Structure 1
């Protein structure tokens, strides 16, 4: 239910970006800066993930969430937590916007498939994390978790290079 709330908020953002701002964001200069900024933000995220994996500063124990027993509407809580998370806002203002811009090159179907893939990946990721939290160290060790974070950080760095390259090409037009 929490991921549903998160997804509804993302759907609203995608609709606004696709229909309300698509002409503005399709301008080469704007698209180029979004690509550069989004790529730089992804590179920073990837670097932090790699650093935390190497320094062993990330663990399942330190990631445990507080008790949410008082929350009656988990979907609303998911939307509110996402909307107030500065990383969520930064991601959508940079990397998310660039993803929407690139997926719109395939028309509305491209945006729809991006959204479906993005929401599915959110659902899979948060399901895995909540399962890991509920089952504790029986399911995944801190070492395995650190390796996952490290490998995902490397993947994000590679993705950032693609966005930076795309942004640079757009600025050269």
Structure 2
């Protein structure tokens, strides 16, 4: 029962976070409209690889450092800059993109792989780091009392929620893209780009606040 509680609690906790719109959700919308259902699972694969590395780092003693204002400020600064760039790139390229996806054209244009984009979108979000430094760290410590099985069930429950939600989002967007058309897709892409720029600006302001508090 303890193991079931660890898995179920981790799943519900992660699902509550996944349901909140953010950079990864925005990228999932744009990529799913372009490449179909495959985008969601691939993006979350990148996200999960990054989280696995973070969990390993926390187990090795990184946890307390994630709470430092300096770390949060630097993550917000770098993440905000990256999100502004990704959003600007979406706006810049929207006019020449099409729903008629051509993998060869993606390779010629140097398009980012969804697995890489999933990791970058997560890493660019400073509130992802904050979540792991607080809620995630607390639940992970509780799971560690049950050894390796507890930690494994915690992580599997966490990523299962991400895969379930983002696969559902990706499926819904991909099924609707036949109604969207190239024009609708381009405007959707522009909207997603604007949202990423908004998030980036918000994170840059947060970085100023975090780093500014260190000087006072």
- TM-score, with structure 2 as normaliser: 0.53
After the TM superposition, which parts of structure 1 deviate over 4 Å for at least 4 consecutive aligned residues?
17-20, 109-112, 114-121
Q: Deviations over 1:75-131 (max 9, x none)?
A: xxxxx972xx3x445444x414x232222465238999x978854563244324543
Gaps of at least 5 residues in structure 2 are 1-36, 105-112, 141-154
The whole-number CA distance in structure 1 between the counterparts of 2:139 and 2:99 is 35
Decide which of 138, 142, 167 is 1:123's aligned counterpart.
Answer: 167
Q: Deviations over 1:126-173 (max 9, x none)?
A: 3245436xxxx7432000100110001111111111111111211122
Q: Secondary structure of the equivalent of 2:180? A: coil
The whole-number CA distance in structure 1 between the counterparts of 2:162 and 2:197 is 18
Match of 2:65 in 1: 24
Q: Which moved more, 1:117-126 or 1:18-27?
A: 117-126
Q: Secondary structure of the equivalent of 1:60? A: coil
Match of 2:205 in 1: 165
Decide which of 114, 127, 132 is 1:99's aligned counterpart.
Answer: 127
Decide which of 70, 81, 99 is 1:40's aligned counterpart.
Answer: 81
- TM-score, with structure 1 as normaliser: 0.64
Match of 2:98 in 1: 59
Number of aligned residue pairs: 147
The whole-number CA distance in structure 2 between the counterparts of 1:41 and 1:30 is 16
Q: Secondary structure of the equivalent of 2:192? A: helix
Counterparts in 2 of 1:105 and 1:90: CA distance versus 1, 3 Å: closer
Asked whether the 8 Å contact 1:39–1:95 carries over to 2, the reply is: yes
Counterparts in 2 of 1:32 and 1:11: CA distance versus 1, 3 Å: closer
Aligned CA-pair RMSD: 3.6
- Structure 2 counterparts to residues 123-162 of structure 1, below 5 A: 123-128=167-172, 130-131=174-175, 138-162=178-202
Gaps of at least 5 residues in structure 1 are 67-79
Asked whether the 8 Å contact 2:50–2:119 carries over to 1, the reply is: no
Asked whether the 8 Å contact 1:28–1:170 carries over to 2, the reply is: yes
